Amino acid sequence: MTRALVAALLVLGAVPARAGVASLWAVSDGEKVERDDRASPWKGRNSVWDGQRVRLFGARNEIVAFQVMVESDAQGIEALRLSLPELRQRGGASRIAYAAPAADPTDTVGRPIQIFPLHYMNVTETTHATWAWALRHPKMFAAIVPVAGLSEDKDLDPCVLKDMPIWAFHGDQDDVVDPQQGFAIVKKVDACKGSVRPKMTIYPQMTHGSWEPAYDDPAMWRWLLEQRRSVPAPGDPQENSKKKADKK
């Protein structure tokens, strides 16, 4: 089995203060760095980061990966772009070049280098926006996942959501949002007897932090990504094309 060393150069030069970037470093794909961990022991040097470069060891046909950490300053980062044009073999002539994704991002043929962004969801307090937006714009969403939420829109008809896939989550000991109010809107939608029944997961002995187990549940994400709108949302190119066809 042949092993090779490749160096991925992350060259930013002097980052201007206005860019909002305080520091940049990297870790292996096996390390977990929390969103606000600015004192990580891996920040200075680690198994893949020497303070300037990422160095990866890999056997032939082995997949290797690393994570790039970009810390913002007090101003925050308005826009960020990262590129990895190629990987070069140390002491050799072999190179692996980056190729942009096709229309289907899951198609990895001919794409030996892939870049994935990681998005953090910062939840600080409850919101009823999921129900509020869905009740007002039922054709806009393929599905909704209300977490520790309720509906205060007593004048809106819950039956507009009777055909929308819904999976709601709530802790039965929620001390911020009354669980019974959260259950009530789900029961109202269910009573409309639509084409799909809403789902409700109740966490026993859970207070208001029900988003933690909900967002950690792979089944929820699989279910959410499987949903599709039965009709195009207002403003979609597909909807605009349909309107033009109808006029003809």
Residue 243 reports pLDDT greater than 60: no
How do the domains of the chain map onto residue ranges?
Answer: 3-97, 129-226
| Biggest CA-to-CA distance, the chain | 71
Class in CATH terms, 129-226: alpha beta
Measured CA to CA, the distance from residue 57 to residue 65 in angstroms comes to 10
Residue 76 has pLDDT above 60, yes or no: yes
Percent of the chain whose predicted confidence (pLDDT) is above 90: 30
In the predicted structure, residue 61 carries a pLDDT above the cut 70:
yes
Lowest mean pLDDT among 5-14, 90-99, 207-216: 5-14
Interatomic CA distance for residues 128 and 146, integer angstroms? 8
**Hey, what long-range contacts does 68-72 have (CB within 8 A, 24 or more apart)?**
68/10, 68/24, 68/25, 68/26, 69/24, 69/25, 69/26, 69/27, 69/33, 69/40, 69/43, 70/21, 70/23, 70/24, 71/21, 71/22, 71/23, 71/24, 71/38, 72/20, 72/21, 72/22
Find the angle CA(211)-CA(73)-CA(117) to the nearest 5 degrees: 50
Q: 104-121 burial string, b = 16+ CB within 10 Å, else e?
A: eeeeeeeeeeeeeeeeee
CB 138 within 8 A of CB 160: yes
Q: What is the mean pLDDT of residues 48-68?
A: 86
Residue 145 pLDDT class (50, 70, 90 cuts): very high
- Over residues 39-48, the mean pLDDT reads 90
Q: What is the pLDDT of residue 23?
A: 86
What is the pLDDT averaged over residues 150-162? 90
- pLDDT at position 63, please? 85
For residue 239, the model assigns a pLDDT of 46
Residue 207: pLDDT band (50, 70, 90) is: very high
Give the pLDDT confidence of 8-29 residue by residue, as tens digits: 444 433 344 446 888 889 999 8
Q: How many CB atoms lie within 10 A of CB 140?
A: 14
Dihedrals phi, psi of 56, to nearest 5 degrees: -120, 135
